[in-house]
Amino acid sequence: MKEINVKSIMVPLGEYGTVSENATLYEAVLALEEAQKKADQDREKHPTTLVIDKAGRIVGTLDQWDVIKGLEPKFRPMETLKETSRFGFSPEFIKLMMEGHSLWRTPLMDICKKADDIKVKDIMHSISAGYLDEETSLDKAIHQLVISSRHSLPVSRGNDIVGILHLSDVFKEVCDRIKACRV
C-alpha cells in the first residue's frame, strides 16, 4: 500500500475554534460549540479548541479530557501518581490513593461558578513540544501518538502549526487499510 503522510489526514487549523489562554472555561465551551457548528460535515467532529496567547500564537489545546479534569482541581497533582504504576504499584493501591484525595466527589457542584473562575491556561494541554512535521509518515505519527498518550498532536510546516492530527483520524485510516486487505 502507498505510504501516506500526516498532511493527508490532519485537520487544518481553519476548522478549529480558538480561545484566549486567559479565557474562562465558559468562554472555551462556547468557542468549541461554535467551531463544531462550522466543522466540515464530511469529517468527524473533533472536540478540540486551540488556545492562543496575546500575540495570536497557538500555545495549547483544550479538549474533553482537559475540561473534565479541570472541573476537579485535585486531578492536577494526581497526574504524576499515574506514573507510579510503572514502579510496581498496583491499580488497587493507586485507586486507594486517589480515593484518599477525595477526587470527583462534587465537581459539578457550583459548576456555573467554576466555569467562570477556571482559566483556560490552567487546564489546557501545552503544545510546547511534540510537533509532527506535515511530511511525517503515518507510521512515525502513530508511534508519536502512542508515546505522547494524547488524542491529538500539532502538525507543523517549518515553524508554523498548520493542523492537528487526531487519533480518531489515524484510527479510521488504519481501519480502512485493514478492511482493504484480503483475508
Nearest to 8 by CA among 170, 177, 181: 170
H/E run at residue 12: strand 11-12
CB 24 within 8 A of CB 116: yes
63 and 140, same domain (yes or no): yes
Q: What is the pTM of this model?
A: 0.73
The verdict on residue 115 lying in a domain is yes
- Which among 4, 9, 60 is positioned nearest to 163, based on CA atoms? 9
pLDDT at 76: 57
Q: Are residues 10 and 67 in the same domain?
A: yes
Mean pLDDT (whole number) for 93-114: 67
For residue 126, pLDDT over 80 is answered with yes
Which structural domain, as residue segments, surrounds residue 24?
A: 6-71+107-179
Strand pairing of 132-133 and 152-157? Answer: parallel
Sheet of strand 17-20, all strands in order from the earlier edge strand to the far edge:
17-20, 48-52, 58-63, 125-126
Distance of alpha carbon 97 from alpha carbon 45, whole angstroms: 36
- Does residue 1 fall inside a structural domain? no
pLDDT for position 83: 54
Same domain, 89 and 170: no
pLDDT, tens digit, for every residue of 39-77?
665 556 667 889 999 999 899 988 878 888 888 766 655
Query: Tell me: the pLDDT tens digits for 134-151?
Result: 999 999 999 998 888 778
Give the confidence band of 8 by pLDDT, cuts at 50, 70, 90. Answer: very high
